[in-house]
Amino acid sequence: MKEKTLIKVKNMERHYKSGEGIVRALDGVSFEIKEGEFIAVMGASGSGKTTMLRILGLMDDLTKGEYSVQGLNVEELPEEERTYYRLTQLGYVFQDYALMNEMSALENVYVLSLMEGNTKKESIATAQEALEKVGLGNKGDRIPDQLSGGEKQRVAVARAIAKKPKILFADEPCANLDTHTSEQVLEVLRNLNKNFRQTIVMVTHEQWHTKYASRLIKLKDGKIISDKKLRK
Amino acid sequence: MLNDIKVGLLSAKSSIKRGNKKTLTFIVFVLALIFMNLVFLPSMIGGMMGLFTGFMQYPYGDIVVEPSGDNIYINNADNVLQKVRTVPDVTFATKRLDAGASIQYKQKVVGSSIIGILPSEEYGVSEYPNIITEGEFLGDISRDEIIIGAMLVEGYFGSEIYDNLGAVRVGSLVDVTYSNGEERTYKVKGIMEGTFELVDLNALVHYKEIEDVFGVDDGKATSVVVRVKNLEEVAETKEKIITAGVKEPVFTRDEKSDAILRQAMQSIGMIDVVSKFVSLIVGAALILIIIYINVLNRKKEIGILKAVGISPHSIVLSYAFISMFYVSLGIIAGLILYFFLMFYFTINPVTFYETMTIIPEIQVGLIINSIFTMLILSVIAGILPAWRVSKENILDAIWGR
C-alpha cells in the first residue's frame, strides 16, 4: 500500500536579521513526510532544527519556499485560520512542557477539546483517554507542580494527541529529563506511532533517541545533509 | 463565541482557584480602597449638603409659595392657604410677611430681616419654636415682643463674625426701624439658635406687626410656607398644590436650596466633582496597572495557549472574567469597609463649626454608579492588556521577548 504524503516542504528558507547581517537559519530545505512516519530531526545547535519545527507547527513564518499539509498551502492561511488549524490538525510538544500551571493535568488536556466545540463531558472523556494512553490515567487531578518532569512531558504529549492531530511535533521532548524518564516518554511516542499510526516529527540532540524513529533527517547550517530511513 | 466563553471561564476559574492567594488578597485590598475612595468623600460631602439643605426648612418649610413676577406680596394669601389646605398630603400651612429693618440696642445697631409670623401656626410648620435657647417663643398676643437670632447676641456662636447687639438679653428693649422708616420698640422674648446664618441673623415678630407697619391689606404675605406628610413625595404634593388652583410660583425646599446652595456650596461642590474625577482616574489607572502586571506575568501562558490553538478571543475573555472577579471582590470588600466607616461616623459625627455635626449620607445612586464604573473599568482593564499580548507573536510571548 502506497503511503499518503502529509507534508510537502520545498526550498524552505528562514532568514533573521542579526545586527548588520542576515542569518539564514534555514537555507533551501525540501522534504516530504508520509502518514505514519516517526521522524527524528538532528543537528548541532544553530543548525535550524527548532526553527524548522516551529514553521511546520505554524508558529513561525518562512521567508521563502512552500509548505503544504495534504495539499493545503497552510503558510498562506490568515492568522485566525492558522490558530484553528493548529487546534484541530497539529499537535505540538514543547521542550519545557508548556503546561498551564494553574490547570490540572486533565484540564490542560481537555481545554483544547472544549475549544473545538465539544461538550465538557465529551472533552473530559477524550482527555481521560489520552492520559490513559500516556500512562497517567490516575493523575488527572494533579496540577503540574505536583508532577515529575517526565509526567509533565507525558501530560504535554496527552494534550497534543487528545485531539487526534494529523501530525505531532515534538521539540526536544526529553531535553529536561533523565535517561529513564526520557525512555518512558519516547516509549509513549513509539506506541502512538506503532499502535495508532500517529505521524511524529521529533527534534532531538541525542543519538540514542533515534532508535525509536523510522527516519532520520540531519541538518547543518540550515541545510539537510542527510535524510534516511531507519527501520520499517 | 460560546466555545470562547467556555474556555475563557475554565481558564479564569483555574487561575483564580489555584492562583496565589496572597496576591489575590493584596489586589482585592487595593481595589477595595479604590472603591472606598470613590464613595466615601462624596458621602461626607453629601452629609454636609444634607445638613445645609436641612436648614432651608426655616425659611421655606417643605414647600413654599412665593409672589408671582415682580410682586412683593401674595395678594390673597388666605385664599392661597385655603387651596393649599385642601391638598390631603399637606399637614400644616401658614403665611409670613418679611421685612428689612435695623435693630438697635443701646449704641449698637445691626441690619436684619424681620419675619412676621403667626406664632401658633409656626408650631406645625417650622422648627422656630424648638430652637429657643433663652426665654420663650412668641404667643398669639405677642404684639410688642420680638425673638432675635443668636448671632445678633454677644457671646453666642457666630456673633463674633457679624455685627451684634452687644449684651442684649431676654427682657431687654430693642428699637426696630423698618425699611419704610417706621420705628417700633419690642421687648426681647427669646433668643433662637439654629447655628446657621439664615436663621440666627434674623428676628421674628408677630405677623400683625408687619401688617401694621407697612399698612398692607389683610391677607397679604411674602410667602406661604407648607409642611407635608411625606417628604419623599414632596414633588407630587407640589403638583397637587398647583392642581388645587394656586397660581403663584410653588417651590419645594430642595428647589430653593439648590439655588442658594449652588452658590454657597460651590466650592464644596467643586471639591466633590474634582474628588470624584480624581478618584475615577486614579481608580482606572490602578485597576489597569494591577491587571496589566497580572497579564504580563502570564505572558508566557498566553503564548502557550495561542500555540496550542486557543483563540485570542478566549484568552481576552478569560482575563476580562478574572478582572471582573477581582473587582467584584474589591467592591464587596470596599462596601463592607464603607458601611463600617458610615456606621462609625454616624455614631461619632464630624463636628463642624463647633455646633454642626455632619453625618455622612449613604447615597444609593452614587454606590450603584461606582459599582458599575468599577465593573466597566475592570472589563476594559482586563481586555486591553490581554488583547495586546494575545496579538503578539506566539514565540515572543512564550519567550517573553
Boundaries of every domain in chain A: 5-229
Cell of B96: 409670613
pLDDT at position B258 is: 64
Amino acid type, B298: R
What sign for the dihedral angle of Cα A118, A124, A125, A128? Answer: positive
- Superfamily grouping for domain A5-229: P-loop containing nucleotide triphosphate hydrolases (3.40.50.300)
Angle of the B266-297 helix axis to the B299-307 helix axis, nearest 10: 60
In terms of domains, do B181 and B97 share one?
A: yes
| A-contacting residues in B 26-65 (Cβ below 8 Å) | none
Does A100 contact B11 at a Cβ distance shorter than 8 Å? yes
Does B7 contact A115 at a Cβ distance shorter than 8 Å? yes
In terms of domains, do B219 and B183 share one?
A: yes
In terms of domains, do B93 and B71 share one?
A: yes
Does A87 contact B309 at a Cβ distance shorter than 8 Å? yes
Share of chain A above pLDDT 70, in %: 98
Q: What is the pLDDT of residues A35-48, one digit of tens each?
A: 889 999 999 888 88
Contacts 24+ apart (CB under 8 A), B1-6: B1/B313, B2/A117, B3/A114, B3/A115, B3/A116, B3/A117, B3/B311, B3/B314, B4/B311, B4/B313, B4/B314, B4/B317, B5/B314, B5/B317, B6/A114, B6/A120
Report whether A11 contacts A65 (CB < 8 A).
Answer: yes
Residue A34: is it exposed, middle or buried by C-beta count within 10 angstroms (0-12/13-18/19+)? middle
Residue showing cell 432651608: B56
Give the Cα separation of B360 and B40 in Å (integer): 8
pLDDT at position A8 is: 92
The answer to whether A138 contacts chain B (CB < 8 Å) is: no
* Chain A hits for B305, Cβ within 8 Å: 100
> In Å, what is the CA distance from A221 to each residue of A8, A59, A93, A186, A228?
21, 21, 24, 27, 18
In terms of domains, do B86 and B155 share one?
A: yes
What is the total count of domains within chain B? 2
* Chain A hits for B308, Cβ within 8 Å: 86-87, 92, 98, 112, 159-160
Give the Cα separation of B42 and A96 in Å (integer): 53
In terms of domains, do B17 and B80 share one?
A: no
Give the Cα separation of A164 and A116 in Å (integer): 12
Does residue B131 fall inside a structural domain? yes
Helix ranges restricted to H, B56-72: 57-60
In terms of domains, do B224 and B164 share one?
A: yes
Residue showing cell 423698618: B178
In terms of domains, do B160 and B197 share one?
A: yes
Complex confidence, ipTM = 0.80
Nearest-5° angle of CA A212, CA A213, CA A219? 130
* Chain B hits for A116, Cβ within 8 Å: 3
Q: What is the pLDDT of residues A161-219, one digit of tens each?
A: 888 788 989 888 888 778 887 888 888 888 888 888 889 999 998 888 888 888 999 99
Distance of CA B275 to the CA centre of its chain: 15
In terms of domains, do B330 and B233 share one?
A: no
Instruction: Please say which residue of B248, B279, B308 terminates a domain.
Output: B248
Can you give the pLDDT of all 401 residues of chain B as single tens digits? Answer: 778 888 888 888 888 888 778 888 888 888 888 888 888 877 887 777 777 766 777 777 889 999 988 888 998 889 999 999 999 989 999 999 999 999 999 989 999 999 999 999 988 888 888 889 999 999 988 889 999 999 999 988 777 888 889 889 999 999 999 999 999 999 999 999 887 777 888 999 999 999 999 988 777 899 999 999 887 888 899 999 999 999 999 998 878 776 666 666 666 667 777 777 787 787 778 777 877 787 777 788 888 888 888 888 888 888 888 888 888 999 999 999 999 988 888 888 877 666 667 788 787 888 898 888 888 888 887 788 888 877 777 877 776 66
Does B304 contact A94 at a Cβ distance shorter than 8 Å? yes
Give the Cα separation of A199 and A207 in Å (integer): 20
* pLDDT at residue A159 greater than cutoff 80: yes
Q: What are phi and psi of B58, to 5 degrees?
A: -60, -55
The answer to whether B317 contacts chain A (CB < 8 Å) is: no
CB count within 10 Å of CB B104 equals 17
pLDDT at position A205 is: 87
Does residue B258 fall inside a structural domain? no
Angle of the A105-115 helix axis to the A149-162 helix axis, nearest 10: 20
Q: Give A188's contacts (C-beta < 8 A, 6+ positions apart).
A: A133, A134, A135, A154, A157
Range of the domain at B382: 2-54+265-398
In terms of domains, do B177 and B93 share one?
A: yes
Q: What are phi and psi of A157, to 5 degrees?
A: -65, -45
The answer to whether A101 contacts chain B (CB < 8 Å) is: yes
Helix ranges restricted to H, B98-195: 119-125
Report whether A193 contacts A33 (CB < 8 A).
Answer: no
> In Å, what is the CA distance from B45 to each residue of B252, B262, B351?
22, 13, 13
User: The whole model's pTM is what?
Assistant: 0.67
* Chain B hits for A77, Cβ within 8 Å: none
Tell me the shortest Cα–Cα distance from B375 to chain A, in angstroms.
25
